[in-house]
């Protein structure tokens, strides 16, 4: 019997070694976790005075309370901000990470004007597999150098080239909408989005993907799926670790979508770089060279391929892909949403639409010619409509910075490492600066009515050093598409606000769509 429990010396050594390894691993893990737990406890105590939502648990914070459905989650955040609007800021814990929600102009200004607090939120790391360290996600010297290099590409003289694409694609959109004239209400959201996607593809990459004529594009599907997966990952701390995430089907789908997106962009960059090389080689051959470049429309990609940094170096293929993907990501969904919201509001407020109608007559008369930059500059009331639409329904419902040092906001000490989340949807509804905040009043943006308004009460394109580099591009595109639609059709919308189903994803979407009716312009309008 005694022999049955005796263990040979060799096995004893193996068991001892395994136990020792487990002990060392346990000690190492403990030594790693202790500083993290100490830092967590310090921040919890330091920020205890900041107003918060009740119900946070240690380590997981409010994560278990967060709704997973996009519509319910957005409504939850807005309810919190309205309930505590009298408070200067609001604190939430997402797992062990503290967040401060900001929706008062004076406090938003503290963060957005700072030349130090320019680090995008750590949650943006979930966008990096797609966008790399491009203008949206980079920080420090890389961001400053890249911003300086790219700013000239958004000069009005270059935007004039892009206007041709906007007019062409707007005309295709109008032809698509023709079948709905004098018919039942239809959801216009996807029509507008595909038009914006065609515009961004052609202006960013010089590639016409024909999304309006082929809405089953693999690339189009990958763009939308990736956006949704990024948001879901942000809300679920158990998806934050890359290796763990890839064990779930969501992580594997993320990897498949990423491959589709990068393959598409890489192929376009390689094709264009090869074409430019061929043009360079034959530029001395007059006839052939002129035929290749005659009436050549520049794309954002062309400008990147020729861009030179501060050290006199050209951007690498990887650098270029980062910026093209960033432009694609930021430049179509946000613009499409703004146009859709403008159509919804104009359809709901016929008196405002009539003023746009009169302005279009003054600028274009009965002509159906393409819009020029000069025409667009004259559409001042339409611009006010767009701005008021962005006030009520900002394309980006929230954006965030990771504080890289302790700072004071409204008398409260906010710890380094905190996620400072600006909520434009709530900020733009502050009755202090926007009386009757739920009312659609484009006149709020007449110059005389903007006097004395806090400059950080309205930030649809962010503000300060990291404001949106493409905001001029966006406004021009929105004016072009809206003017093209409204020169042909009269829009009606009977959809109530509560029927929209607002979903605060990476952009502010109506889950139930935007349902409008179209009539022929100048025949059925009031």
Return the axis-axis angle of helices 333-348 and 471-486, rounded to nearest 10°: 40
pLDDT band at 6 (very low <50, low <70, confident <90, very high): low
The phi, psi pair for 134, rounded to 5°, reads -80, -170
Q: Which residue do the tokens 């090869």 mark?
A: 274
Q: Could you tell me the residue range of the domain that residue 506 belongs to?
A: 63-520
In a domain, residue 32? The reply is no
- The answer to whether residue 47 is domain-embedded is no
Rounded distance, CA 291 to CA 111, Å?
Answer: 52
d(CA 257, CA 262): 9
Distance separating alpha carbons of residues 35 and 30, to the nearest angstrom: 9
56 occurs within a structural domain: no
**DSSP letter assigned to residue 407:** E
Q: Which two tokens stand for residue 54?
A: 């009740």
Q: Band of the pLDDT at 90, cuts 50, 70, 90? A: confident
Mean per-residue pLDDT for 77-89? 87
- Assigned domain for 202 exists: yes
* Interatomic CA distance for residues 312 and 307, integer angstroms: 9
- Quote the CA–CA distance of 492 and 348 in Å, as a whole number: 6
Using CB atoms within 10 A of its CB, is residue 121 exposed (0-12), middle (13-18) or buried (19+)? buried
Residue 50 lies in a domain: no
Residue 192: inside a domain: yes
Q: What CA–CA distance (Å, rounded) separates 52 from 406?
A: 19
6 in a structural domain: no
Residue from 339, 347, 345, 389 nearest 525 by CA: 347
Q: Residues 486-505: pLDDT tens digits?
A: 999 999 999 999 899 888 87
Per-residue CA distances from 188 to 74, 194, 413, 423, 487 (Å): 22, 10, 46, 26, 17
Look at residue 402 and give its three-state secondary structure. strand
Confidence band of 371 (pLDDT split at 50, 70, 90)? very high
**Beta strand 97-102 pairing with 419-422:** parallel
Q: Which CATH number covers residue 401?
A: 1.10.630.10
* Residue pLDDT, tens place only, 236-264: 778 888 888 888 888 899 999 999 999 98
Rounded (10°) CA dihedral 500, 502, 506, 507? 50
11 domain-assigned: no
Give me the pLDDT at residue 31, please.
57
* Tens of pLDDT, residues 299-348: 788 888 887 766 777 888 888 899 888 888 787 889 999 999 999 999 99
The total of structural domains in the chain comes to: 1
Higher pLDDT, 339 or 288: 339
Long-range contacts of 160-165 (CB under 8 A, 24+ apart): 160/373, 161/297, 161/298, 162/203, 162/473, 162/476, 163/370, 163/371, 163/372, 163/373, 163/476, 163/480, 164/297, 164/370, 165/199, 165/202, 165/203, 165/297
């Amino acid at each position: 019997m005694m022999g049955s429990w005796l263990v040979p010396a060799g096995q004893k050594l193996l068991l001892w070694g395994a136990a020792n390894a487990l002990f060392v691993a346990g000690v190492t893990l403990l030594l790693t976790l202790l500083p993290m737990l100490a830092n967590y406890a310090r921040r919890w105590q330091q920020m205890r005075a900041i107003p918060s939502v009740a119900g946070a648990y240690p380590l997981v914070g409010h994560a278990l309370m967060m709704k997973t459905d996009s519509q319910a989650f957005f409504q939850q955040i807005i309810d919190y901000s309205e309930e505590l609007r009298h408070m200067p800021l609001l604190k939430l814990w997402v797992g062990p990470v503290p967040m401060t929600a900001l929706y008062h102009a004076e406090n938003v200004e503290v963060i957005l004007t700072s030349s130090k607090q320019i680090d995008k939120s750590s949650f943006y790391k979930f966008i990096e597999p797609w966008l790399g360290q491009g203008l949206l996600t980079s920080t420090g010297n890389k961001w400053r150098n890249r911003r300086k290099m790219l700013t000239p590409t958004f000069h009005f003289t270059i935007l004039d080239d892009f206007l041709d694409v906007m007019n062409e694609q707007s005309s295709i959109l109008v032809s698509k909408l023709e079948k709905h004239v004098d018919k039942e209400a239809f959801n216009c959201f996807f029509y507008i989005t595909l038009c914006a996607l065609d515009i961004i593809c052609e202006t960013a990459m010089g590639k016409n993907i024909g999304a309006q004529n082929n809405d089953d594009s693999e690339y189009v599907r990958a763009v939308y799926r990736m956006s949704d997966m990024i948001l879901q990952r942000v809300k679920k701390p158990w998806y934050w670790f890359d290796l763990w995430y890839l064990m779930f089907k969501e992580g594997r789908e993320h990897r498949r979508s990423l491959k589709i997106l990068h393959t598409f962009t890489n192929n376009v960059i390689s094709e264009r770089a090869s074409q430019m090389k061929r043009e360079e080689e034959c530029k001395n051959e007059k006839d052939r060279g002129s035929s290749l470049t005659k009436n050549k429309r520049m794309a954002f990609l062309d400008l990147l391929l020729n861009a030179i940094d501060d050290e006199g170096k050209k951007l690498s293929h990887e650098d270029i892909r980062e910026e093209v993907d960033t432009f694609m990501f930021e430049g179509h969904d946000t613009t499409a949403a703004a146009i859709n919201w403008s159509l919804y509001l104009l359809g709901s407020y016929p008196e405002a639409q009539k003023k746009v109608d009169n302005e279009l007559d003054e600028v274009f008369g009965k002509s159906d010619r393409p819009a020029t930059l000069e025409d667009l500059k004259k559409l001042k009331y339409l611009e006010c409509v767009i701005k008021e639409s962005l006030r009520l329904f900002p394309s980006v419902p929230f954006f965030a910075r990771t504080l890289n040092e302790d700072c004071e906001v409204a008398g409260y000490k906010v710890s380094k490492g905190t996620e400072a989340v600006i909520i434009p949807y709530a900020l733009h509804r502050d009755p202090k600066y926007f009386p009757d905040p739920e009312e659609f009043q484009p006149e709020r943006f007449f110059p005389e009515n903007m006097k004395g308004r806090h400059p950080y009460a309205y930030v649809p394109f962010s503000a300060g050093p990291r404001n949106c580099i493409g905001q001029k591009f966006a406004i021009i595109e929105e004016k072009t598409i809206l003017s093209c639609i409204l020169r042909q059709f009269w829009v009606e919308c009977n959809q109530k606000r509560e029927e929209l189903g607002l979903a605060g994803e990476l952009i502010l979407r109506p889950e139930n769509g935007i349902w409008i009716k179209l009539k022929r312009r100048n025949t059925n309008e009031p």
